[in-house]
């Protein structure tokens, strides 16, 4: 649904801030693609854009693709911004630029909802999810779009049911410039891991869209030109297991109908390994990747962070089970936990070897507001506000020791030989278990073939000829070519290249040890 009953017309400029380099956004892979410039279409801002009154013209700009221009600001009557903590400085910068045009600026999304005080200059703070605060904001702008005399905080008390969410306005985004497509089925998570802000922000009782909404969204993504991978951004795909079971047959049907042009990915807790009935259906729906927050292989640490549900099956067994349904596990790992010991880095590298997981996001612990971790560390006087550090946590081990251990893990885990060996394992023991999707006319379009050829050319030239790890690459690539597995080759080569490049710089201190740290993010850089 849209906001209704508003006669006045307002022109709204929605601006999504630029990310800075991060392990999880794959930017070292972009030069190998056919023009990708950004990670995923931002769900929140495109959702708000779709919710605005039908007669309000909306422009959407993702500054990862291009910066908002003078002409954009002159066109607009008000500006909407949304983003995560890591984009805080960029969001404040967009506000400053919009104010130069005397425009009212509203901010919504996860960062302002958790930390309104990060955004003192904005005119409107939209705290919480889509709901009565959104209607209030729209009504106020309809009455008067000029800047209010002082900041107005609008907090959602009554959230809009997700079944009434409109389809995000994907048509406003330059969808082909994104590395992945994105979609959201549910919000919230029933668990309460100590470090996580999801239950605090979105609740413990997952709210849901309907399966029909999801297939309609997939139709729209397809219409807008998404092929390749689509990521369910839900915090936990099995947060409501029954809902996952209800959705999967619809996804299977949709994939059959549209010719399997999309490979699906999601985030889920590792105890999904105990649910063969769900895994089997995910396999049929062509889910190829699951991000699991494994966090640590140390059972004591899992207990301490209230993530015991990761131990419902032995971790390695859980990973193997998921692999046996054709899905690669991507793992989140945290270092700097109170339970860490001097030998934690070594143990983690042994786990990487044993699990054969190629892609692990290894981060230093960061305390986020609205989490039990934050509250505990505050009580213990162990929160440190110092932008020169990679974490705001006063670790029990010496800070330098933790950072050095992280650098060592990054360096060793993503050595080209080791990484490609893990990918070879995936080819043999995971990808081999995927359903054999029929080659359909939808996949063989000229646009898809051209895209594949461009990516292959880039990969062969930039990695196979110029790359300093080309020998390792060809050892993997030649058998793939022999098997005609071009798609598999492209996706592994692109991701591996990002991981190798990022880890090399990380191991010499040129990348942050935490996705949340702002140490290297001081300058707000609009897209050129
Ligand atoms: S299972 Fe995942 S989403 Fe849920 S509380 Fe834990 S870390 Fe957060």
Region of poorest pLDDT, from 110-124, 356-370, 429-443: 429-443
DSSP label at residue 414:
T
Q: What share of the chain is helix, strand, coil (3-state, %, to 5)?
A: 45, 15, 40
Q: Tell which atom from ligand 1 comes closest to the C-alpha of 192.
A: 5
Instruction: Kindly state the tokens that stand for 430.
Output: 């995971």
CA distance 49 to 43: 10
- pLDDT over 70 for what percent of the chain? 97
pLDDT, greater one: 311 or 100:
100
- Residue 525, pLDDT above cutoff 50: no
Backbone φ and ψ of 476, nearest 5°: -80, -40
CA distance 85 to 101: 25
Instruction: DSSP for 155-174, please give it.
Output: E-SSBPPGGGPPPP-GGGS-
- Where does the pLDDT of residue 1 fall: very low under 50, low under 70, confident under 90, or very high at 90 and above? confident
Q: Element (H or E) spanning 88, and its range?
A: helix 88-99
The distance from CA 254 to its chain's CA centroid, rounded to whole angstroms, is 24
For 378, residues 6+ apart whose C-beta sits below 8 A from its C-beta are none
Q: Tell which atom from ligand 1 comes closest to the C-alpha of 189.
A: 4
CA distance 422 to 416: 10
Residue from 195, 199, 366, 367 whose mutation best tests the ligand 1 pocket (most atoms within 8 A of CB): 199
- Residue 366, pLDDT above cutoff 60: yes
What is the model's pLDDT at position 458? Answer: 97
CA of 196 to the centre of ligand 1 (A): 6
Q: Tell which atom from ligand 1 comes closest to the C-alpha of 235.
A: 3
411 contacts 262 by C-beta, under 8 angstroms: no
Residue from 189, 291, 309, 370 whose mutation best tests the ligand 1 pocket (most atoms within 8 A of CB): 189
Query: Helix 399-413 vs helix 416-429: angle between axes, to the nearest 10 degrees?
Result: 60
What is the model's pLDDT at position 242? Answer: 94
Rounded average pLDDT over 489-503: 96
Residues in the chain: 528
CA of 524 to the centre of ligand 1 (A): 30
The distance from CA 324 to its chain's CA centroid, rounded to whole angstroms, is 25
233 contacts 198 by C-beta, under 8 angstroms: no
Q: Tell which atom from ligand 1 comes closest to the C-alpha of 307.
A: 6
- Residue 441, pLDDT above cutoff 50: yes
End-to-end CA distance of the chain: 36
What is the model's pLDDT at position 29? Answer: 96
Sign of CA dihedral 476, 479, 482, 488: negative
Maximum CA extent, the chain:
68
CA of 259 to the centre of ligand 1 (A): 33
Residue closest via CA to ligand 1's atom 6 equals: 193
Q: Tell which atom from ligand 1 comes closest to the C-alpha of 199.
A: 5
Q: Which of 115, 117, 126 is nearest to 155 (CA)?
A: 126
CA of 370 to the centre of ligand 1 (A): 13
CA distance 161 to 131: 8
For 150, residues 6+ apart whose C-beta sits below 8 A from its C-beta are none
Q: Tell which atom from ligand 1 comes closest to the C-alpha of 190.
A: 4
Instruction: DSSP for 461-516, please give it.
Output: IIIIIS-TTHHHHHHHHHHHHHTT-HHHHHHHHHHHHHHHHHHHHHHTT-S-SSTT
Residue from 235, 271, 295, 374 whose mutation best tests the ligand 1 pocket (most atoms within 8 A of CB): 235
Q: Which of 40, 20, 87 is nearest to 505 (CA)?
A: 20
Give CA separation, 413 vs 144, 154, 201, 455, in Å.
55, 45, 33, 26
Mean confidence (pLDDT) of the chain: 92
Burial class (CB in 10 A: 0-12, 13-18, 19+), 318: buried
What is the model's pLDDT at position 526? Answer: 27
Residue from 293, 303, 318, 368 whose mutation best tests the ligand 1 pocket (most atoms within 8 A of CB): 293
Rounded average pLDDT over 145-159: 97
3-class secondary-structure state, position 10: coil
104 contacts 146 by C-beta, under 8 angstroms: yes
- The 3-class SS string of 42-57 reads CHHHHHHHHHCCCCCC
Sign of CA dihedral 298, 299, 305, 310: positive
CA of 192 to the centre of ligand 1 (A): 6
What pLDDT, in 10s, does the model give residues 67-97? 999 999 999 999 999 999 889 999 999 999 9
Residue from 190, 192, 198 whose mutation best tests the ligand 1 pocket (most atoms within 8 A of CB): 198
Look up tokens 């700097």; give the residue: 336
Beta bridge partners of 186: 208
Q: Tell which atom from ligand 1 comes closest to the C-alpha of 195.
A: 7
CA of 248 to the centre of ligand 1 (A): 22
What is the reported pTM? 0.92
CA distance 289 to 286: 9
CA of 199 to the centre of ligand 1 (A): 7
Burial class (CB in 10 A: 0-12, 13-18, 19+), 343: exposed
Beta bridge partners of 183: 232
CA distance 164 to 208: 10
- Where does the pLDDT of residue 223 fall: very low under 50, low under 70, confident under 90, or very high at 90 and above? very high
> Which residue spans within 218-342 are E strands per DSSP?
228-232, 262-267, 287-295, 328-335
What is the model's pLDDT at position 358? Answer: 98
310 contacts 295 by C-beta, under 8 angstroms: yes
Q: Tell which atom from ligand 1 comes closest to the C-alpha of 196.
A: 8
- Residue 519, pLDDT above cutoff 60: no
CA distance 506 to 406: 9
- Residue 394, pLDDT above cutoff 90: yes
Ligand 1 binding residues, C-beta < 6 A? 189, 191-193, 196, 198-199, 235-236, 269, 293
CA of 269 to the centre of ligand 1 (A): 7
CA of 293 to the centre of ligand 1 (A): 8
Backbone φ and ψ of 472, nearest 5°: -65, -40
CA of 72 to the centre of ligand 1 (A): 39
Rounded average pLDDT over 215-237: 93
Look up tokens 């201190």; give the residue: 509
Instruction: Kindly state the tokens that stand for 316.
Output: 């390695």
Backbone φ and ψ of 154, nearest 5°: -115, 120
- Residue 527, pLDDT above cutoff 80: no
């Amino acid at each position: 649904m849209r906001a209704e009953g508003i006669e006045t017309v307002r022109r709204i400029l929605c601006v999504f801030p630029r990310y800075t380099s991060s392990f999880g956004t794959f930017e070292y892979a972009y030069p190998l693609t056919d023009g990708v410039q950004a990670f995923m279409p931002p769900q929140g801002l495109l959702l708000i854009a779709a919710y605005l009154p039908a007669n309000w013209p909306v422009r959407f700009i993702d500054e990862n693709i291009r910066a908002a221009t003078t002409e954009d600001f002159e066109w607009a009557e008000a500006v909407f911004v949304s983003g995560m903590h890591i984009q805080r400085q960029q969001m404040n910068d967009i506000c400053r630029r919009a104010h130069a045009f005397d425009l009212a600026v509203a901010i919504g999304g996860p960062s302002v909802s958790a930390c309104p005080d990060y955004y003192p200059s904005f005119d409107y703070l939209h705290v919480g999810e889509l709901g009565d605060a959104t209607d209030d904001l729209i009504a106020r702008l309809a009455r008067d779009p000029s800047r209010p005399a002082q900041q107005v905080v609008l907090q959602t008390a009554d959230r809009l049911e997700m079944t009434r969410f409109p389809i995000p306005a994907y048509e406003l985004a330059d969808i082909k410039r994104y590395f992945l497509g994105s979609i959201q089925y549910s919000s919230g998570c029933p668990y309460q891991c100590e470090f996580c802000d999801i239950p605090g922000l979105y609740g413990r009782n997952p709210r849901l869209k309907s399966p029909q909404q999801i297939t309609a969204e997939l139709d729209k993504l397809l219409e807008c030109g998404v092929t390749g991978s689509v990521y369910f951004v839900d915090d936990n795909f099995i947060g409501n297991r029954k809902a996952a079971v209800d959705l999967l047959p619809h996804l299977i049907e949709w994939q059959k109908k549209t010719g399997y042009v999309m490979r699906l990915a999601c985030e889920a807790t590792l105890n999904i390994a105990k649910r063969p009935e769900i895994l089997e259906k995910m396999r049929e729906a062509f889910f190829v990747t699951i991000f699991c927050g494994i966090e640590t292989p140390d059972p004591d640490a899992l207990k301490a962070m209230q993530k015991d549900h990761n131990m419902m099956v032995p971790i390695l067994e859980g990973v193997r089970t998921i692999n046996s349904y054709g899905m690669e596990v991507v793992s989140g790992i945290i270092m700097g936990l109170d339970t860490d010991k001097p030998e934690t880095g070594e143990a983690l590298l042994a786990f990487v070897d044993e699990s054969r997981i190629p892609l692990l996001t290894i981060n230093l612990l960061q305390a986020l507001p609205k989490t039990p971790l934050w509250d505990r560390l505050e009580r213990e006087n162990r929160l440190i506000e110092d932008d020169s550090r990679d974490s705001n946590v006063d670790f029990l081990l010496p800070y330098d020791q933790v950072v050095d251990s992280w650098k060592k893990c990054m360096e060793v885990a993503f050595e080209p030989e080791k990484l490609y060996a893990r990918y070879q394992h995936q080819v043999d023991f995971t990808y081999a278990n995927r359903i054999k999707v029929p080659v359909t006319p939808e996949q063989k379009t000229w646009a898809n073939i051209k895209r594949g050829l461009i990516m292959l050319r880039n990969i062969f030239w930039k990695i196979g000829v110029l790359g300093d790890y080309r020998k390792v690459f060809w050892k993997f690539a030649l058998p793939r070519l022999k098997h005609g597995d071009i798609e598999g080759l492209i996706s592994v080569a692109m991701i591996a290249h990002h991981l190798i490049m990022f880890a090399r710089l990380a191991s010499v201190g040129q990348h942050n040890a935490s996705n949340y740290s702002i140490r290297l993010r001081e300058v707000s850089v609009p897209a050129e």
